[in-house]
């Protein structure tokens, strides 16, 4: 048993050790200790300078490479998606520049941006009143457009509805929703503050790019739940179209729960949905386009440099 005498002896020993150290440091070891510390500080400064130089060189090389890829992308991507119609679906918390770059890259590849839909947080809310209002609006829009959402499987009926309104299923026997009817259904969702849609020149799409970001509000469990619900939407869009790809810039993403990471952590999603985690770069934009080509062929891949990536970039289409 440890008693008071043990504590007293321990405290005295500590103070004696400190006293000896002070005496030695102020006496015969003073110069040696000072010289050693000076050398250590000088070495650390030199190491820091070298690391800063290496970082600057690496940054310059990366920027130069991305500039080169950006200059050559128009030629490399030209016509690889000709005659394809692509729907852009933009999630809350995403980077607006990624959506803009994706639209430009798709057009450079010969694709038509068939629609751009921004989905609000109400789409995945867990607030009971908001969810009830949302589900009522979804039901009305489904009835008005003739979309059967009674058998949605593992995803939600609202996800099936939006996928049906935006894209045309390649599955035999599944009739696409006429464009004019789809616009009416989307207008009902707009009136319910569930989405914002640019319907000028609207067409139902063959392929879908989901521009995702992070779920930034709420407790960790709530953020994870919301991210999983966005994953369900991506799965529904993939099932209803010829292929879907989730694009994000994870290296500059704000704090929160990444939807793209949630997709990569979902075994069902990764069987069909492709991802690009560096879509804010020219290399990532090339992967968005080539990833859609791969999707059209029935293949899937996870591209970029974040965890879960299969390769740094999507493969070039076979000539």
pLDDT by residue (tens digit) across 50-92?
Answer: 778 777 766 665 566 666 566 667 767 888 999 999 999 999 9
Looking at the structure, tell me whether residues 89 and 41 fall in a common domain.
no
pLDDT by residue (tens digit) across 201-226?
Answer: 899 999 999 999 999 888 889 999 99
Residue 207 lies in a domain: yes
pLDDT at 27: 58
Looking at the structure, tell me whether residues 112 and 6 fall in a common domain.
no
pLDDT at 47: 76
Largest interatomic CA distance in the chain: 93
Residues in the chain, overall count: 319
Looking at the structure, tell me whether residues 92 and 218 fall in a common domain.
yes
Looking at the structure, tell me whether residues 30 and 166 fall in a common domain.
no
Number of domains in the chain: 2
**CA atoms within 13 A of residue 241's CA, in its CB half-sphere:** 34
pLDDT at 170: 74
Looking at the structure, tell me whether residues 208 and 296 fall in a common domain.
yes
The count of other CB atoms within 10 Å of the CB of residue 140 is: 15
Comparing CA positions, the residue from 284, 283, 294 lying closest to residue 318 is: 294
How many Å apart are CA 22 and CA 52, to the nearest integer?
37
Looking at the structure, tell me whether residues 209 and 234 fall in a common domain.
yes
171, two tokens: 């599955």
Q: Tell me the residue range of the domain where 27 lies.
A: 1-77
Residue 317 lies in a domain: no
How many Å apart are CA 65 and CA 306, to the nearest integer?
19
The count of other CB atoms within 10 Å of the CB of residue 32 is: 11
> Which residue, 77, 95, 124, sits at the end of a domain?
77
Host H or E run for residue 260 = helix 259-264
pLDDT at 38: 75
What are the residue ranges in the chain where pLDDT is below 70? 1-10, 12-13, 15-34, 37, 57-72, 75, 252-254, 319
Looking at the structure, tell me whether residues 105 and 26 fall in a common domain.
no
Looking at the structure, tell me whether residues 119 and 67 fall in a common domain.
no
Residue 30 lies in a domain: yes
In the chain, what percentage of residues exceed pLDDT 70?
Answer: 82
Looking at the structure, tell me whether residues 130 and 17 fall in a common domain.
no
pLDDT at 195: 97
What DSSP assignment string belongs to 39-70?
Answer: HHHHHHHHHHHHHHHHHHHHHHHHHHHHHHHH
Looking at the structure, tell me whether residues 198 and 266 fall in a common domain.
yes
């Amino acid at each position: 048993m440890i008693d008071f005498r043990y504590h007293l002896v321990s405290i005295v020993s500590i103070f004696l050790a400190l006293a000896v150290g002070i005496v030695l440091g102020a006496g015969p070891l003073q110069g040696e200790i000072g010289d050693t510390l000076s050398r250590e500080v000088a070495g650390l400064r030199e190491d820091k300078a070298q690391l800063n130089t290496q970082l600057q060189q690496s940054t310059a090389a990366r920027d130069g490479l991305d500039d080169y890829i950006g200059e050559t992308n128009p030629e490399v991507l030209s016509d690889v998606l000709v005659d394809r119609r692509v729907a852009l679906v933009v999630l809350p918390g995403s980077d607006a520049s990624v959506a803009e770059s994706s639209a430009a890259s798709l057009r450079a590849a010969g694709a038509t941006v068939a629609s751009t839909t921004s989905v609000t947080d109400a789409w995945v809310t867990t607030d009971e009143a908001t969810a009830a209002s949302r589900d009522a609006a979804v039901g009305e829009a489904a009835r008005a457009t003739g979309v059967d959402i009674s058998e949605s499987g593992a995803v939600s009926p609202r996800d099936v509805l939006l996928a049906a309104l935006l894209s045309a299923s390649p599955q035999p026997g599944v009739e696409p929703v006429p464009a004019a009817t789809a616009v009416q259904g989307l207008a009902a969702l707009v009136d319910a503050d569930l989405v914002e849609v640019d319907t000028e020149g609207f067409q139902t799409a063959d392929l879908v790019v989901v521009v995702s970001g992070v779920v930034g509000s709420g407790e960790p469990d709530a953020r994870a739940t919301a991210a999983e619900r966005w994953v369900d939407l991506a799965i529904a869009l993939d099932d209803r179209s010829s292929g879907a790809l989730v694009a994000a810039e994870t290296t500059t993403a704000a704090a929160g729960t990444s939807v793209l990471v949630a997709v990569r952590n979902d075994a069902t999603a990764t069987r069909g949905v492709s991802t690009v985690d560096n879509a804010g770069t020219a290399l990532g934009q090339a992967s968005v386009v080539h990833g859609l080509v791969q999707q059209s062929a029935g293949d899937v891949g996870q591209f970029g440099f974040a965890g879960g990536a299969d390769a740094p970039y999507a493969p070039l289409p076979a000539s």
